[in-house]
C-alpha cells in the first residue's frame, strides 16, 4: 500500500479508494495523495475538490484509478 501512496505523491497519480467512514458507511473516492504517516493519509479528493484526511485503518481497498468508472459512491 505504501508503494502506491508514494507513487501517487511523486507522480500525481490518482488512486481509487474504498473507505469506511466514521458513520460506518462505505465511501468510494478518487484522490491524489499529498502526505502519508503511520496513522493517516492526506490527499486531494477529486469528488469533494478538497484536501481530505483519511485514517489508514479505515482504508478497505486502494488501487490506481480505473478510468472506466463513471460513478462513485459517496
- Cα 22 from Cα 10, distance rounded (Å): 29
- Cα 20 from Cα 67, distance rounded (Å): 22
The per-residue pLDDT for 67 is 66
50-67: average pLDDT: 93
The DSSP secondary-structure symbol of 24 reads: S
Please name each of the domains of the chain with its CATH number. Answer: 2-64 (2.30.30.100)
Q: Is residue 72 predicted with pLDDT exceeding 60?
A: no
Predicted TM-score (pTM) of the model is: 0.81
The pLDDT confidence band at residue 1, using thresholds 50, 70 and 90, is: confident
Burial class (CB in 10 A: 0-12, 13-18, 19+), 15: buried
The pLDDT confidence band at residue 70, using thresholds 50, 70 and 90, is: very low
The pLDDT confidence band at residue 66, using thresholds 50, 70 and 90, is: confident
In 3-state terms, what secondary structure has residue 21?
coil
Amino acid at each position: 500500500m505504501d508503494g502506491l501512496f508514494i507513487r501517487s505523491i511523486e507522480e500525481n497519480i490518482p488512486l481509487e479508494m474504498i473507505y469506511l467512514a466514521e458513520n460506518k458507511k462505505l465511501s468510494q473516492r478518487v484522490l491524489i495523495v499529498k502526505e502519508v504517516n503511520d496513522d493517516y493519509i492526506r490527499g486531494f479528493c477529486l469528488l469533494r475538490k478538497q484536501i481530505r484526511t483519511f485514517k489508514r485503518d479505515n482504508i478497505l481497498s486502494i488501487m490506481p484509478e480505473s478510468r472506466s468508472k463513471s460513478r462513485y459512491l459517496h
